[in-house]
């Protein structure tokens, strides 16, 4: 039996416009998943930075401040006036999009990235959906740096970094999917993940492109070693394609493509030319972006492909 890879979604939000876009993406994806989605949680992490804007004269090195009545009262007022409305708005937006299951709302203190990953692990969330970045007027945090830390640390969850493009068909936020493959077991995790997901929402998918980029820098060496790069690329793509066919996904929506050049540049160019709304890549599960399956390629794609959503598949 094929199991849907998305069952519980953790949605960190901060009240920014980018954060609202992540809510929109999560909502329409959740509706597409139907009964497969069993849980969704909205999370706001309160940091001390907002205090600096309102109480600039305070010495934040003093832990005593955290115990003072002034700090406690100010924090409660801040949460009531600024944080809870963000969560309530997020819940309303999800309901308006058709989410019917229980929506949990959480407010925590601490380092945002650490708390996001901790809650994701403790709550057995399969998926984290976040905006690429968004300087929040509510929380005073740069979500870009937080997103990077979460991507580095969330080994058990697939992390979706929602792109900037406004979706033309908002009800089907991942209708065009690009999957770069390199033949490794890690890139195949990305293939297997998408196959399991699309098996549940195949009616929402227009096309899936399996892309193999032949690195021009190693083309001559491969020939010298007796390896035909183009034949090898075809073999890798056919293996990936069989994964989809085994899960009863219509052949007509699965295409393979070979490009020759610098891998990161070719993936980015393909993403732009193909107007994809989701790029899926596997990862090794270690903590540095350079350790993703495609190495520095994944890092470059993640940083430069700003319009489509990028998903880094769990290593677990």
10-residue mean pLDDT profile of the chain (316 residues): values are 93 91 93 95 80 51 59 80 94 96 94 94 97 53 68 91 73 89 90 95 92 88 83 94 92 95 94 93 57 63 88 84
Q: 289 and 146 share a domain? A: no
pLDDT of residue 32: 93
Residue 3 domain flag: no
- Among 162, 191, 217, residue at a domain's last position: 162
pLDDT at 139: 41
Q: What is the pLDDT of residue 141?
A: 39
Whole-prediction pTM value?
0.87
End-to-end Cα separation, the chain, in angstroms = 19
Q: Decide: helix, strand or coil at residue 40.
A: strand
Which value, to the nearest 10 degrees, does the dihedral of the CA atoms of residues 277, 169, 19, 133 take? Answer: 30
- Of 116, 138, 162, the residue at which a domain comes to its end is 162
Domain end (from 116, 140, 162):
162
pLDDT at res. 144: 61
Residues 75 and 15 in one domain: yes
User: Could you tell me if residue 128 is inside a domain?
Assistant: yes
Q: CATH number for the domain including 41?
A: 3.40.50.620
Q: Where are the beta strands (DSSP E) in 145-272?
A: 158-162, 176-180, 207-215, 254-261
Residue 170 counted as domain residue? no
pLDDT reported for residue 285 = 41
What per-residue confidence (pLDDT) applies to 286? 41
- Residue 59: the pLDDT is 53
Claim to verify: residue 275 and residue 192 sit in the same structural domain: yes
In a domain, 32, yes or no: yes
**So what's the pLDDT on residue 167?**
61
* Same domain (yes/no): 275, 226: yes
Give the model confidence (pLDDT) of 109-140 as tens digits. 888 999 999 999 999 999 999 988 644 434 43
Tally of structural domains, the chain: 2
Q: 168 in a domain, yes or no?
A: no
Q: Do 121 and 182 belong together in one domain?
A: no
Answer yes or no: are the C-beta atoms of 129 and 26 closer than 8 Å.
yes
290 and 257 co-located in one domain = yes
Q: What are the tokens at 255?
A: 């295409």
Find the domain containing 85 and state its range: 8-162
**pLDDT for the residue 92:** 97
Residues 19 and 81 in one domain: yes
List, in sequence order, the alpha helices (H) in 202-249: 219-224, 229-246
* 2: in domain: no
Asked whether residue 261 is assigned to any structural domain, the reply reads yes
On whether both 252 and 277 belong to a single domain, the answer is yes
Looking at the structure, tell me whether residues 214 and 158 fall in a common domain. Answer: no
Is there a single domain that holds both residue 263 and residue 136?
no
- Look at residue 44 in the predicted model and tell me its pLDDT: 95
Instruction: Supply 58's token pair.
Output: 């305070």
Same domain, 296 and 230: yes
CA–CA dist 313, 126 (Å, integer) = 10
Confidence (pLDDT) at 61: 53
> Is 105 inside a domain boundary?
yes
In this structure, the answer to whether residues 126 and 60 fall within a common structural domain is yes
Helix (H, G, I), strand (E, B), or coil: what is residue 12? strand
> Residues 9, 13, 16, 18: what is their CA dihedral angle, to the nearest 10 degrees?
-30
């Amino acid at each position: 039996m094929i199991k849907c890879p998305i069952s519980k979604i953790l949605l960190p939000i901060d009240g920014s416009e980018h954060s609202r876009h992540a809510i929109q993406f999560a909502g329409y994806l959740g509706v597409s998943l139907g009964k497969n989605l069993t849980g969704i949680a909205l999370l706001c992490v309160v940091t001390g930075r907002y205090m600096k804007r309102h109480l600039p004269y305070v010495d934040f090195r003093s832990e005593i401040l955290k115990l003072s009545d002034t700090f406690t009262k100010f924090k409660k007022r801040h949460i009531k006036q600024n944080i809870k409305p963000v969560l309530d708005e997020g819940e309303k937006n999800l309901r308006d999009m058709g989410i019917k299951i229980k929506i949990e709302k959480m407010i925590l203190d601490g380092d945002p990235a650490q708390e996001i990953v901790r809650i994701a692990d403790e709550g057995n969330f399969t998926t984290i959906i976040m905006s690429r970045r968004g300087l929040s007027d509510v929380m005073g945090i740069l979500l870009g740096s937080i997103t990077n830390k979460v991507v580095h640390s969330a080994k058990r969850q697939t992390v979706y970094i929602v792109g900037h493009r406004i979706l033309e068909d908002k009800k089907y936020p991942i209708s065009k999917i690009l999957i770069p493959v390199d033949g490794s077991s890690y890139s195949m995790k990305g293939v297997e993940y998408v196959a399991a997901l699309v098996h549940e929402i195949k009616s929402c998918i227009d096309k899936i492109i399996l892309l193999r980029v032949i690195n021009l820098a190693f083309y001559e060496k491969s020939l010298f070693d007796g390896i035909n790069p183009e034949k090898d690329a075809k073999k890798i793509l056919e293996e990936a394609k069989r994964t989809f066919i085994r899960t009863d996904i219509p052949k007509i929506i699965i295409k393979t493509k070979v490009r020759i050049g610098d891998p990161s540049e070719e993936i980015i160019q393909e993403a732009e030319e193909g107007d994809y709304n989701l790029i899926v890549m596997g990862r090794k599960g270690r903590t540095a972006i350079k350790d993703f399956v495609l190495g520095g390629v994944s890092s470059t794609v993640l940083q430069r492909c700003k319009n489509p959503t990028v998903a880094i598949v769990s290593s677990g």
